[in-house]
Every structure is written in structure tokens, then in C-alpha cells.
Amino acid sequence: MSSTEQATLHGRIREELRERILGGTWQPHDRVPSESALMAQYGVSRITVRQALGELESARLIFKVPGKGSFVASGKPFQELGRLQGFAEAMNGMGHETFNRVLSLHDVAAGAQVAERLGLEPGAPVTEVRRVRYLDQQPVSLDLTWLPQRLGQRLRREELARRDIFLILENDCATPLGHADLALDAVPANAEVAGALGLPEGAPVLHIERLTHDQAGRPIDYEHLYCRSDTFQYRMRLQRR
């Protein structure tokens, strides 16, 4: 088969599957026919099918779950800001797959801003965690987190690739969460953020500064979250009194 014929075939497969997704024939989280089924249906090679599926995945119309196949995406995933939840806690509850790539976890001397937010003296030891959060195999946020050392030491013994820090604090450290203060703005991605999220440097990202307190009102978790705005949303319901 020539490269031109292959391009025509994979384009046809891509467009027919795309029409079923956008036309509502397949609903969010419906399983897309397997590679073998599509090969038999269209009489094409596996590489042609994979090329078509790869382009649908790049367009965020489907997502792949290793060992299970491809599934229809549910539009742009989102997390409600009106409820204090960890990322995995919220996303897994909506049927998405999540995991974290831990870039670093170590103790550092608290800078002025971190110390002020956590109610510590400047230079006090804190635990710093840097993670890339993945949703349905795609990087969606770079999270920078600081905790008082007494809590941060516990994280070294935990499985941060799959677990939320919020759940570790509550379930393993016996530290119930109370409330969080948030500030949101849009910023250009610096080199670190762009590299972690697969974006060009300077691309706009959503920046969230979050300070979480325990039930007694003590600040215990200070974060800067940098989120891809093209693939993920935060939502909130507001009530008029």
C-alpha cells in the first residue's frame, strides 16, 4: 500500500469515528471498537488504525486506558472548586484515570512567602513536593506543594504516584481538612511549566494559589498549581443571597 493510500484510509477511519463521537452515536466513556475490530471492518493494517486513533486522541476526542482499549472522552474534564477535594479523588470519581509523576520530594528552608503562608519562621524546614498530574494519560498540571516538616516527613513513606496528599493527611496523618483559600489568575508558562506540560514556553496556563487549613484553622498545605487551560477546567457554582 502506498503512503498516499494509507493516508487516505486512516483519514477516512478518523473522520467516520469522529462523526460517531460528535454526532452522539457514542456517548462519553463508551468503548471504541478495538484495533482488531477496526482492522477487520476496514480491511487495513494495524498501523493505519493506530494512526487514526492517535489523531483522535491528540484531538482529545478519545482517551486510552492501557490494557482496556480506547474510550470516548467526555469533553473537557473539570473539577468543582466548591468542594475541597484532591485531584485524583475528584477525577477518579468521574471515571477518569489519574497518576502523578513525582519530580522531587525533599526538605528545604522555607522562603519568606512559604513561611508566611504556613505561619512559620523564615528558614524553617518544610517539605517541598513537585508533581506533574496526569489525566487519562495526558499531563494537565504542575503542582508545587509545601508542608510543615512534621507532616511532610510522612509523605516519604507514601505512594504519591497514585494517592492525593489530601487523603494522606486525613487518613494517614489523622489531620482532618477544614477549608482552603484560593486565588486564580492566568500566567504565561515559564520553562519549567512548559516542559512539564508539553506546552510552548509563554503559552497561557491557569495558575491557582491554594492554602489549605485543618479543622482547627491551622495552615498545613500551601500550593501553586499550573494547569493546562486547553484540556482541563475548574468550575464553581455561585449563589445569590
Pick from 24, 46, 72: which residue ends a domain? Answer: 72
49 vs 37: CA distance, rounded Å? 10
* Cα torsion angle, 140, 208, 226, 110, sign: negative
Residue 241 within a domain:
no
- Which three cell numbers, joined as nine digits, stand for 188? 504565561
pLDDT string in tens for the chain (241-residue length): 444 555 578 889 988 998 887 777 888 889 999 999 999 999 999 999 999 998 888 767 788 888 889 998 766 677 777 788 888 787 776 667 788 999 999 999 999 999 999 999 999 999 999 999 998 788 999 999 999 999 998 887 668 888 899 989 999 899 999 999 999 999 999 999 999 999 999 999 999 999 999 999 999 999 999 999 877 777 777 778 7
Identify the domain containing residue 101 by its residue range: 78-235
User: Are residues 35 and 111 located together in one domain of the fold?
Assistant: no
Q: What is the pLDDT of residue 212?
A: 96
User: Are residues 113 and 193 located together in one domain of the fold?
Assistant: yes
CATH number for position 46 = 1.10.10.10
Instruction: Provide the number of structural domains found in the chain.
Output: 2
Within the chain, where are the H helices? 3-22, 35-42, 46-58, 87-92, 112-118, 149-155, 165-171, 191-197
User: Are residues 146 and 47 located together in one domain of the fold?
Assistant: no
Residue 99 within a domain:
yes
Residue 240 within a domain:
no
User: Are residues 7 and 96 located together in one domain of the fold?
Assistant: no
- The reply to whether the predicted model has a pTM over 0.85 is no
Residue 118 within a domain:
yes
